[in-house]
Structure 1
Amino acid sequence: MNTATLSPTSPKVKRRQSARIRQRTGSYLAPVQTQETHDAALYSIRTFLRSRTSYDAFPVSFRLIVLDSQLEVRKALQCLLLNGVVSAPLWNSEKSVFAGMFTVSDIIHLIQYYYHYTSSYDNAATDVETFRLESLRDIEKSLGVATPPLISEHPNSSLYDAAQRLIQTHARRLPLLDNDSETGHQVIVSVLTQYRLLKFIAINCNRDIQSLHLPLRKLGIGTYVQHDPTAGEPQLGQNPYHPIATANMNTTVFDVVHMFSERGISAVPIIDENGVVVNLYETVDVITLVRLGAYQSLDLTIAEALNQRSPDFPGVVICTASDSIGTLLQLIKKRRVHRLVVVEGEEEERKGGKKGRLLGIITLSDVLRYVIGPVNIQESAEPEEPPIGRPMTASASMPT
């Protein structure tokens, strides 16, 4: 397993199987650490985002894969894999309108649906061969999974408004739509992701980021284990890592897939008997197993599945609760990060904890929500446009 740590005080994850350990990133210590300088930096970042449009966040060169909503799921998945992306906008060619997003989450829902409602893996594989993207919402209804609203923004909208839109709708990406001046039809210009937005901040607001020095847990960024491991063992039947979903090396892949679908998450920490984080299993790992129609691979244990993981897996990024959001944003500027696993460090170890034990999870949604601040209540109360296709749920279609 590849690992990366956020600061010199962050512990390394215990190595399992063959792995390369990435170099640690340096942690910046602000000369004056006060709440006032921290708040002033946040205000400056938000002011900057109000003065920039979504167009400004576009990389110099990028590609955009758009899929017809009548395309078969098998072909759509192959297209994503061949182009090295995990999501793509859908286009309704009959109405010439944007029709949502096809993401890894859709595949997760499909897997769970066929596991429950078909008699064999062969039947599941046959059905997926002919299943069309436009019917994905039927799967959600069968599973009882909520369908997020279909959302979009104009490329000229401010980055601050676009960020608030992402927060309001709990979306991980925001399609940017314009209208053709001649036909009046919609045009999909690009997709603004949480990662792209945060990286834009990290690149352009470096001085402000250096002032964001307060600890992550003190700021309430992320989801943390509610049980205090230093207070003794939890009661019988109680999940010691609640509300975080966890698995171990003997957990089956499908059990984790069920967590993905039921809880709307995209990664589950893999822990040992002491609660020490040893790896991370993600939705994209499932795609590695099913892209060749190997649905029976869902019965593999996590340990067996990790042996089939792509060698270019970027690694698990860990941090401690005492690391700062400024250091996190500096890391986002250097490499693609979608989440961090918070583990116990030296400070918790001195209090009787165990170094490397799971403490929490921080997602890009958590970071963006904190940086942008409270959502405009009036805007969030506006009714959403009725959905006409699949909305977005997973990761970026634009390269860095």
Structure 2
Amino acid sequence: MADAPPDPKPLSPLDKDQRQGLKAIREFLRKRTSYDVLPLSFRLIVLDTDLLIKKSLNILIQNSIVSAPLWDSHISRFAGILTATDYINVIQYHCQFPDEMSKLDQFRLASLPDIEKAIGATPIETVSVHPSKPLYEALRRMLKTRARRIPLVDLDEETGRETVISVITQYRILKFIAVNNEHNTILLKKTVRDLQLGTYTDLAVARMGTTVLEVINLMVSRNISCVPIVDSENRVLNAFEAVDIIPCIKGGAYDELNGSVGEALCKRPEDNPGIFTCSEDDRLDSIFDTIRKSRVHRLVVVDDENKLKGVISLSDILKYVLLHGEEDDAA
């Protein structure tokens, strides 16, 4: 007769709290909708795909935004979302086809898929979610497609007409969790090291004197949206993000991409929150506390001497909160 399998090892109090906190947050996300994340008052700027790419850039800068939903007025349909990645693709097109520069100024937002194809970029899946669907569903869709933001699109069942309601970002969702679940996030006392949260190997880095174009090439080759800026001792000075590219090419000034990262960072808006750091010994509840109080888009992990150790993205945090141990919970 075969021996019975050994009893599973009992959970420690720390593990029990962690599991309880995650379970409660997931339950909260299943009960709340994407509508709930929206502020009481907000503005939405939607760009028509007939708009010139050059003009779209100026609109983003003038309105202090870094993305916008796209609308195809010819068929009255949602057509995707304009982000910094699209401008990176335009820059790559400029570099690969310098003789086409005169045409570039005449390209419209509708041309973005053609630009992707010309440079061999992987098309970004166009996803949206109905605002009344559970927030949990929107998050799962974001993680599956690696989207950092997702438009909320309503559909009139009688006419079949779509309406773009708003856009929710990973940051806004995490903020929503942090603000409304302090009694649950306080249970998440495991450290960054315990959770192996973030990326710690083969990190892309740059110096203040590195050109913007070199950093863009680094982002494209590594498929990342942020590059830590370090000194000769690997101490963290700042971080260059994909959205920092937008003011660099204002008015189609592609030649300025040969300028340094240090110069580009000076073009950030005054309300830019800068970078947030943490250590591997920081607990997840303290990270949620930081998100609750500040506009965090990622955390740079440093040691006691401020030397770079790793990077934690909002995707890393959301993936852990949503998916960690899910198989165990289902058992």
TM over 0.5: yes
The CA deviation string for residues 91-112 of structure 1, in whole angstroms up to 9 with x for no partner, is: 1111111110111111111112
Pick the aligned partner of 1:360 from 291, 301, 310. Answer: 310
Cross-structure match for 2:27: 47
Measure the CA separation in 2 of the matches of 1:89 and 1:308.
24
Quote the RMSD (CA, aligned, Å): 1.9
Q: 2:126 aligns with which of 150, 153, 168?
A: 150
Which amino acid in structure 1 is aligned with residue 209 of structure 2? N
Rounded to whole Å, the distance in 1 between the matches of 2:260 and 2:161 is 48
- 8 Å contact from structure 2 (residues 29, 136) kept in 1: yes
1:128 shift after superposition: 3.4
Shift of 1:184: 2.3
What is residue 76 of structure 1 aligned with on the other side? Answer: 56
Tell me if 1:106 matches 2:86.
yes
Q: Is residue 270–residue 281 contact of structure 1 (8 Å, CA) maintained in 2?
A: yes
1:313 aligns with 2:293: no
Question: Aligned equivalents of 2:228 and 2:74: distance in 1?
Answer: 43
- What SS class does the counterpart of residue 101 from structure 1 fall into? strand
Pairwise CA distance, 1:305? 3.0
What do residues 138-167 of structure 1 show as CA deviations (whole Å, max 9, x unaligned)? 221222221122211111111111111111
Alignment partner of 1:287 is 2:246? yes
- 1:245 aligned residue (204, 213, 238): 204
CA drift at 1:303: 2.9
The CA distance in 2 between the partners of 1:85 and 1:204, in whole Å, is 26
Name the residue aligned to 1:35. Answer: 15
Contact in 2 for aligned 1:288/1:310 (Cα 8 Å)? no
Take 1:303 and 1:94, find their aligned partners in 2: how far apart are those partners? 43
Alpha carbons of 1:128 and 1:376: their partners in 2 closer, same or farther (altered >3 Å)?
Answer: farther
Where does residue 77 of structure 2 map in the other structure?
97
Match of 2:143 among 154, 160, 167: 167
- Following the alignment from structure 1 to structure 2, what is the Cα–Cα distance between the partners of residues 374 and 67? 37
Aligned letter for 1:360? G
Which whole-Å CA distance do the structure 2 matches of 1:311 and 1:172 have between them?
A: 23
User: Contact between 1:105 and 1:261, CA under 8 Å: does it hold in 2?
Assistant: no
Q: What amino acid sits opposite 1:166 in the alignment?
A: M
1:117 and 2:76 aligned: no
Amino acid corresponding to residue 290 of structure 2 in structure 1: L
Question: Does the 8 A contact of 1:199 with 1:333 survive in 2?
Answer: yes
**Inter-CA distance 184–304: structure 2 relative to 1 (3 Å threshold):** closer
Matched, 1:370 2:320: yes
Counterpart residue number, 1:131 = 107
Larger RCO (CA under 8 A, 6+ residues apart): 1
Q: Greater shift after overlay, 358-367 or 171-180?
A: 171-180
Q: For 2:153, which of 177, 191, 214 is the aligned residue?
A: 177
**Shift, 1:302, TM fit:** 2.1
Match of 1:391 in 2: none
Contact 2:51 / 2:109 at 8 angstroms: preserved in 1?
yes
**CA distance, structure 2, for counterparts of residue 156 and residue 279 of structure 1:** 39
Superposition deviation, residue 181 in structure 1: 5.3
Task: State the TM-score, normalizing by the size of structure 1.
Answer: 0.75
The structural deviation recorded for 1:273 is 1.3
Structure 1 gaps of 5+ residues are: 1-31, 226-241, 346-354, 378-400
Give matches, 1:191-340, under 5 Å: 191-225=167-201, 242=202, 244-340=203-299
Residue identity (%): 44
Q: Could you say what secondary structure the match of 1:90 adopts?
A: strand
SS in 2 for 1:175: strand
- Residues in 1 aligned to 2:75 and 2:182: alpha-carbon distance in whole angstroms: 44
Structure-2 change in CA distance of 1:42 and 1:224 (3 Å): same
Using the TM superposition, give the Cα deviation of residue 217 of structure 1 relative to its aligned residue in structure 2, in angstroms.
Answer: 2.3
Q: How many residues align?
A: 316
Partners of 2:325 and 2:314 in 1: CA distance: 16
* Contact 1:260 1:267 (8 Å CA) reproduced: yes
CA distance in 2, matches of 1:313, 1:365: 21
1:286-324 CA-to-partner distances (Å, cap 9, x unmatched) read 222211332211111223333444443321111111111
Instruction: Give 1:64 shift.
Output: 1.1
Task: Report the alpha carbon displacement of residue 57 of structure 1 after superposing the two structures with TM.
Answer: 1.2
3-state SS of paired residue (1:55): helix
Give the equivalent residue in structure 1 for 2:4.
none
Would the aligned equivalents of 2:33 and 2:134 in 1 still touch at CA under 8 Å? yes
| Higher mean displacement: 41-50 or 280-289 | 280-289
Whether the 8 Å CA contact 1:112–1:261 is kept in 2: the answer is no
SS of aligned partner of 1:64: coil
Q: TM-score, normalised by structure 2?
A: 0.90
Separation in 2 of the partners of 1:307 and 1:157?
41
> 1:85-133: per-residue Cα shift (whole Å, max 9, x none)?
11111111111111101111111111121022104xxx63x43321111
Alpha-carbon distance between aligned partners in 2 of 1:182 and 1:77, rounded to the nearest angstrom: 36
CA 1:304/1:77 → structure 2, altered by over 3 Å: closer, same or farther?
A: closer
Whether 1:62 and 2:42 are equivalent positions in the alignment is yes
Q: Give yes or no for contact 2:54–2:252 (8 Å, CA) kept in 1.
A: no
How far the C-alpha of 1:265 sits from its partner, in A, is: 1.8
> Which letter maps to 1:155?
P
What's the CA shift for 1:375? 10
Instruction: Provide the rounded CA distance (Å) in 2 between the counterparts of 1:83 and 1:70.
Output: 19
Distance 2:277 2:218 in 1: 21
